[in-house]
C-alpha cells in the first residue's frame, strides 16, 4: 500500500422506491416513494451543511417497480435530481430496479470507479423471481483481481454482514464466498442497502460492513461516511423531526409560504400541510407576504410602498388585490396543527403593509425588513442602511407583530457586512416589546451571538423554514442544531 489517500466523504442514500410516471399497483403505505426526488434534495441540503460531500451513492431500489411502464422515465427523473449538486454519482441496481440501465456503462456484473484515491467496486448482482441473489463467479473473480494499491470500497444492494434472520431473502445465497473474497482482497468497506432498517458499521475478518437504512421510510435516514485512509467514520442523519410517524414533534414552523407568493417555487398550502405531517412538525403556520397580496409583482418588487405609501389602500379599493382570496383559501385549512398569518413590512410612512380592515383573525404576524431605500441603490452606504434597518425594525416591533423574521438577512442578501453592533439594540427592542426572534436559514445564515443575546433578555425564539419550495417545509434541523450548539433549552422556543 502506498501513502494513504486523501479523505473521501460519501453521501449514502438507499432504497428510494420512487414512482411518478410508473404508478405502482400496490406499495406499503409506510413507503413514501412518491417523494423520492424531494427526499434526495432534502438529504443533500442537510448533508452539504454537515460535510464537504465528494460523491453521492444511491444504493439500489431507486424505483419501486422497474418493470412497470414509465419506470425508465422515473429513473431519468431521479438521475436529474441526483446530479443537481454537480458531484459524482454512483448508482447501484437493486432488485426493484429490474433491467433498468442503472449500473456500469457496459452492463457488466461489476465495474470499477476510481475516485479520490479509492476504488469503488460496483456490483450489479442478479436477482431471481423470488428475490434470491447469487453473486456470479465472474464478479467474485473481479474482487480477487482488484488493485491492491488503492483501498477497496464494495457497493452492492444486498447486505453481506451481519446475518439477517428473516423469511425474506435479504442476503446473498453465497454470502460466505463473497466475504471470503472480500477478506482475501483486503476490502476496506462494504456498503449495502435493501434492508430498510439498516445495520450499523461492523467488522469481520478485517473488512468493515455497513447497511444503509431506507430513505423512503420514516424517519427518512441517510448516511454520511468519511474515509480517512483506512479509518471509517459513519454518521446517520434523518429528515423527520419525530421518532414516530404517528406522533408529531413539539416544534412549530412559523413561516411557510403558499401558492399566493410571487417568490414561491412549488409550494402550495395543501401540500405544505401534508409535508408538515409527514416530517413531524407539531404545528405549521401559513404566513403569506401581505405586500404581495395587495400589489402587482412589479409594484411589490420595486417596493413601491416605500415611495408611495398610499398604493396599498388604492389597490385595495380598486379591487385588484388578493387578500380576500388568500383568506378564503387558507381559512378552511386552520386546525390544531395549522395556523394562519401574514408576513408584513413597513411602508414609507412608517406603517405596516397591512390595512386595518385586514388585520384581524390571524394567528401570527411576522415582521420583516426585506429592503430599505438605501439598500436598493447600486452601491448602498453601509451606515445609512444600518440606520434605516434599525428604524424599520423598531417600527415593526412596536406595531404589534409577534415575530421578527430573519432579523439581519437584509445585509447578507446584499453582500454587506452584518452589523454586529446592532445585535444588542435589536435584542433590547424585541425584549421590550415582547416580540420573538426568528431562526431562519432560507437564503440565510444565523448569528449565534445574536441568538444568545436574545435568550439572555428573555426573548422567545421562533423556528421558521420560510418555505418557498416543498422540500423546505419542516426542514428545521439547522435551527435545532444551533440551539443544541448553544446549549439552549426547549423552553426558549415560542
Domains of the chain, earliest start first: 8-238 (3.60.21.10), 252-492 (3.20.20.140)
- Do residues 197 and 154 make contact, with C-beta atoms less than 8 angstroms apart? no
CA gap 403, 185 in Å, rounded: 60
Cβ neighbours of residue 71 closer than 8 Å, sequence gap 6 or more: 21, 22, 63, 65, 98, 100
Nearest Cα to Cα of residue 214 among 46, 19, 16: 16
Alpha-carbon gap, residue 262 to 134, rounded angstroms: 54
pLDDT cut 90: percent of the chain above it: 93
Which residues, given as ranges, of the chain have pLDDT below 50? 1, 106
Q: Please state, as a whole number, how many other Cβ atoms lie within 10 Å of the Cβ of residue 279.
A: 27
Global pTM? 0.94
The helix (H) or strand (E) run that includes residue 366 is: strand 364-367
Quote the pLDDT of residue 27. Answer: 84
Backbone angles phi, psi at 430, to 5 degrees: -65, -45
Rounded Cα–Cα distance for residues 264 and 258 (Å): 7
Amino acid at each position: 500500500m502506498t501513502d494513504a489517500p486523501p479523505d473521501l466523504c460519501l453521501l449514502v442514500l438507499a432504497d428510494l422506491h420512487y414512482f411518478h410516471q410508473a404508478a405502482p399497483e400496490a406499495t406499503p403505505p409506510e413507503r413514501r416513494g412518491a417523494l423520492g426526488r424531494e427526499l434526495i434534495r432534502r438529504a443533500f441540503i442537510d448533508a452539504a451543511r454537515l460535510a464537504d460531500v465528494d460523491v453521492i451513492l444511491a444504493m439500489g431500489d431507486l424505483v419501486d417497480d422497474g418493470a412497470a411502464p414509465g419506470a425508465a422515465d422515473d429513473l431519468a427523473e431521479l438521475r436529474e435530481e441526483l446530479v443537481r449538486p454537480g458531484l459524482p454519482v454512483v448508482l447501484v441496481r437493486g432488485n426493484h430496479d429490474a433491467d433498468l440501465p442503472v449500473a456500469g456503462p457496459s452492463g457488466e456484473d461489476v465495474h470499477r470507479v476510481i475516485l479520490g484515491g479509492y476504488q469503488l467496486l460496483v456490483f450489479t448482482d442478479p436477482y431471481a423471481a423470488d428475490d434470491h441473489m447469487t453473486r456470479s463467479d465472474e464478479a467474485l473473480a473481479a474482487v480477487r483481481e482488484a488493485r491492491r494499491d488503492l483501498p477497496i470500497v464494495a457497493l452492492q444492494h444486498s447486505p453481506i454482514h451481519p446475518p439477517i434472520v428473516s423469511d425474506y431473502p435479504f442476503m446473498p445465497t453465497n454470502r460466505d464466498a463473497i466475504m471470503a473474497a472480500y477478506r482475501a482482497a483486503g476490502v476496506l468497506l462494504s456498503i449495502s442497502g435493501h434492508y430498510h432498517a439498516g445495520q450499523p458499521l461492523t467488522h469481520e475478518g478485517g473488512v468493515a460492513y455497513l447497511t444503509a437504512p431506507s430513505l423512503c421510510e420514516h424517519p427518512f435516514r441517510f448516511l454520511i461516511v468519511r474515509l480517512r485512509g483506512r479509518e471509517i467514520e459513519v454518521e446517520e442523519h434523518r429528515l423527520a423531526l419525530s421518532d414516530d410517524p404517528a406522533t408529531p414533534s413539539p416544534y412549530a414552523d412559523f413561516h411557510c409560504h403558499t401558492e399566493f407568493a410571487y417568490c414561491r417555487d412549488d409550494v402550495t398550502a395543501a401540500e405544505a400541510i401534508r409535508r408538515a405531517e409527514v416530517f413531524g412538525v407539531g404545528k405549521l403556520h401559513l404566513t403569506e407576504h401581505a405586500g404581495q397580496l395587495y400589489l402587482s409583482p412589479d409594484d411589490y418588487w420595486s417596493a413601491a410602498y416605500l415611495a408611495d405609501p398610499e398604493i396599498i389602500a388604492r389597490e385595495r379599493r380598486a379591487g385588484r388585490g388578493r387578500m380576500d382570496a388568500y383568506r378564503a383559501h387558507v381559512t378552511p385549512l386552520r386546525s390544531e396543527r395549522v395556523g394562519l398569518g401574514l408576513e408584513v413590512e413597513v411602508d414609507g410612512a412608517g406603517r405596516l403593509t397591512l390595512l386595518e380592515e385586514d388585520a384581524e383573525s390571524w394567528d401570527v404576524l411576522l415582521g420583516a425588513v426585506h429592503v430599505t431605500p438605501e439598500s436598493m441603490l447600486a452601491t448602498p452606504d453601509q451606515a445609512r442602511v444600518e440606520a434605516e434597518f434599525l428604524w424599520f425594525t423598531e417600527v415593526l416591533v412596536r406595531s404589534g407583530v409577534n415575530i421578527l423574521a430573519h432579523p439581519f438577512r437584509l445585509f447578507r442578501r446584499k453582500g454587506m457586512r452584518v452589523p454586529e453592533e446592532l445585535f444588542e439594540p435589536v435584542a433590547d427592542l424585541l425584549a421590550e416589546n415582547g416580540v420573538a426572534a426568528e431562526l431562519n436559514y432560507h437564503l440565510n445564515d444565523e448569528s449565534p451571538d445574536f441568538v444568545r443575546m436574545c435568550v439572555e433578555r428573555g426573548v422567545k425564539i421562533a423556528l421558521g423554514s420560510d418555505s418557498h419550495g416543498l422540500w423546505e417545509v419542516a426542514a428545521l434541523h439547522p435551527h435545532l442544531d444551533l440551539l443544541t450548539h448553544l446549549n439552549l433549552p426547549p423552553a426558549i422556543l415560542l
